[in-house]
Structure 1
Amino acid sequence: MSSTIKKVEITYNSINASNTFTNGDIVSGQVSVEAAKDCQISSFYIKFKGKADVFWTETYGQNTYSYHAKDKYFSVRQYFIRDPNSKDDQKSLIAHQSGETYSNVVPPGIHVYPFSFQLPLQNIPSTFKGADGKIVYLLEAVLSRSMKMDSKESTMINFVEKGDLNPVPGLMEPQHETMDKKMKLFTSGTVAMDVNLEKSGFFQGEGLKVKAFIKNDSSREIKPKYCIYRKHSFFARGRRRVHTKDLIKEVGRPIPPKASENVTQVIAIPQDVEPSILNCSIIKVEHRLRVSINIKDI
């Protein structure tokens, strides 16, 4: 900041205990400007925008390649002070409650400029930050003066998409997978597994019920193993970058040799697990279930 403009600060009003916003919510607050002496402002506005950004590099031999992609969801401005020579088509001049506009000459002291934006109602992805990309919703204030560098300040809000599983095809439909494996080495026989889910879309805090029919025709005791893992995918220039991480691991009760059983395992989904993102063209966040068989050692 310059010696004349000592501080530009953005504060917004929380609307719930988790300090999150969702589709259609109002984001309101104020921009505070502290001036050390009289100054003339050419332009002063606050911008609200949502965007996704992906970037990573890959090295092959002595060559390094960069992969970058952007996705823009919205960008709106509200002006406190507008440059009369501006050709910006997004003019939205904010007035005092008295109906008068803000003066472009600011005296010494702290001055407060209120703002209010509404988040889009349409389907946009939740806030996200990963190894090679992010989705951000940002408030940015820009104060411009003649022959001076712009004074800027920004702050991010945490946006969580409204939970609705119905618009996504297949999330409410039953899922079914089978596995048939012949044992090798010191174990003879076969193991077959038939796994069923009532649906594949779940909310935080919900129980994921896994039903399985397991046929153990081997000579060893086996145990079903369950793992929920996270998969982050980033896309740019026709390439894909993937990161996975196991989140929950559980082991079911043992099934003896030469036995067949119907088993049910309910896995509690944590309240704080990040939401899946399936509506962004360059970032995808998925949560998947892996069911496997553990064979008892000799």
Structure 2
Amino acid sequence: MVSSIKSFYISYDAVNESNTFGAGDFISGRIFLEVSKEVKLSSLSVKAKGKAKVLWSERYGQVTVVYHAKEKYFSQERVLVQERAAGGAGEDYMTLINQGEEKYDSVLSPGIHVYSFTFQIPQGNMPSSFKGCYGKIIYTLEAKLSRPMRVSSKAMAEFTFVSKPDVSIAHLMEPQFGTRSKNLKFLTSGNVSMDIQTEKMGYMQGEVLQVVAQINNISSRIVTPKISLYQKQSFFAKGKRKLYIKKILKEKGESIPPGTHRSVTQQLTIPVDLPPSVLNCPILQVEYRLKVYLNVPFAKDPEIKLPLIVLHALSASGPMTQLNTPECFT
């Protein structure tokens, strides 16, 4: 049987250049429905909602245990079309839940029909959109079309939600320091040490991060300073934690000869599309670490790790995506 529904989809309007939304923003859109002949609707509704979920499995001998958890942030619904109950009084359609919004007929003529809607995203400390290896935080618009004696049709569009930066985080804009010293013994001798400093802990997408390191190479080997930025995705369910580490950036400085003291300045640019840190979700966290280390031949590299918080920048172009994330979660 050929379906009388030729197309059914949902779209929304951007409110800024980065096509992102925050708490309290209004999101407006339209449902597009094209029918090839006269169609009678039982109902047409649209929902705006936000949720987080994680899922992974682990094998213990012959037993596979599935770990999963969900968090719901909000769910709002608008009924655009509602057929009159049999024998009831009134029109064959109803107004939207909010007074003053348009009302639509439940009997459609052949052609394209467009239904408008508006939601206000609620206030609250909701986490930013994120898709990771074993979980995701997603915000969606979902339309549902019901007809008599037919299976319901659904359409969905995701939108990117960005949590407001939490400026109350301790030491967010204060300098960070680290120090490390190591005595070398195997196939070499002496001591290497480094003291590092960064301007702050919180950086916007696209911002330049500068590391200043004081390095003492009182050893018989050449050492090479290196710097890297990596992401930690943590997923929580049933008292367990699943960790996924992702390398973001890596830079190498000039080698430092034996018996030398050097002041080294290294810069990293935070990618503009790097997802911001997620610290306000109990089942999914996204953290970043800055690692500065000395590559020492034939020895374990001394290293310093500092926490780094990535903040959303309104000037960042394009929606936030997870860079080269494996499709582990569906």
TM-score interval, normalised by the smaller of the two chains: 0.7 to 0.9
Correspondence 1:1-298 to 2 at 5 A: 3-82=3-82, 92=97, 101-162=103-164, 164-295=165-296
Q: For residues 11 and 106 of structure 2, what CA distance do their matches in structure 1 show? A: 22
Shift, 1:40, TM fit: 3.0
**Alpha-carbon distance in 2 for matches of 1:205, 1:241:** 29
- Measure, in 1, the Cα distance between the counterparts of 2:3 and 2:136: 34
Instruction: Output one character per residue of 1:253-280: Cα deviation in whole Å (capped at 9) or x when no partner.
Output: 3333223333322222222222221121
Distance in 2 of aligned mates of 1:41 and 1:34: 13
Instruction: State the TM-score, normalized to the length of structure 2.
Output: 0.79
Q: 1:178 to 1:212 in 2, by over 3 A?
A: same
Q: Give 1:117's aligned amino acid.
A: F
Greater shift after overlay, 232-241 or 28-37? 28-37
Distance 1:219 1:96, change over 3 A: closer
Distance 1:2 1:66 in 2: 41
Structure 2, unaligned runs of 5 or more: 86-95, 299-330
SS at 1:161 equivalent: coil
Letter in 2 for 1:10: I
Q: Distance in 1 between matches of 2:168 and 2:152?
A: 43
State the secondary structure of the residue aligned to 1:202.
strand
> What is the CA-CA distance between 1:55 and the residue it aligns to?
0.4
Deviates more, 1:70-79 or 1:272-281: 272-281
The amino acid that maps onto 2:167 is N
Q: Give the match's secondary structure for 2:192.
A: strand
RMSD (Å), alpha carbons: 2.3
Q: Which moved more, 1:67-76 or 1:2-11?
A: 2-11
The CA distance in 2 between the partners of 1:3 and 1:51, in whole Å, is 32
Task: Give the secondary structure class of the aligned counterpart of 2:50.
Answer: strand
> How far apart are residue 294 of structure 1 and its match?
1.3
**5+ unaligned residues in a row in structure 1: which ranges?**
86-90
- Counterpart-to-counterpart distance in 2, 1:237 and 1:2: 47
Identity level (%): 47
Aligned 8 A contact 2:43 2:82 in 1: yes
Compute the TM-score of the two structures, normalised by the length of structure 1.
Answer: 0.87
Give, as a single letter, the amino acid of the residue that structure 2 aligns with 1:144. Answer: S
Q: Structure 1 residues 96, 2: CA separation in 2 closer, same or farther (over 3 Å shift)?
A: farther
2:143 aligned partner, one-letter code: A
Contact 2:83 2:106 in 1 (8 A): no
1:161 to partner: Cα distance: 3.1
Shift of 1:83: 5.8
Match of 2:90 in 1: none
Partner of 1:191, secondary structure, is: strand
What SS does the aligned partner of 1:122 have?
A: coil
Match for residue 88 of structure 1?
A: none
Segment drifting more, 8-17 vs 200-209: 8-17
- Equivalent residues of 1:54, 1:134 under 8 A apart: yes
After TM superposition, give the deviation of residue 31 of structure 1 in Å: 0.7
CA–CA distance in 1 between the matches of 2:54 and 2:127?
14
Structure 2 distance, partners of 1:83, 1:76, is 21
CA shift, 1:42, in A, is: 2.3
Structure 1 pair 235–84 and aligned structure 2 pair: CA distance change class (3 A): farther
- Mapped to 1, the partners of 2:219 and 2:295 lie a distance apart of 12
How many residues are paired up?
Answer: 288
**Residue-by-residue CA offset, 1:179-230 (whole Å, 9 max, x unaligned):** 1211121110111222222211111121212122222221122221111111
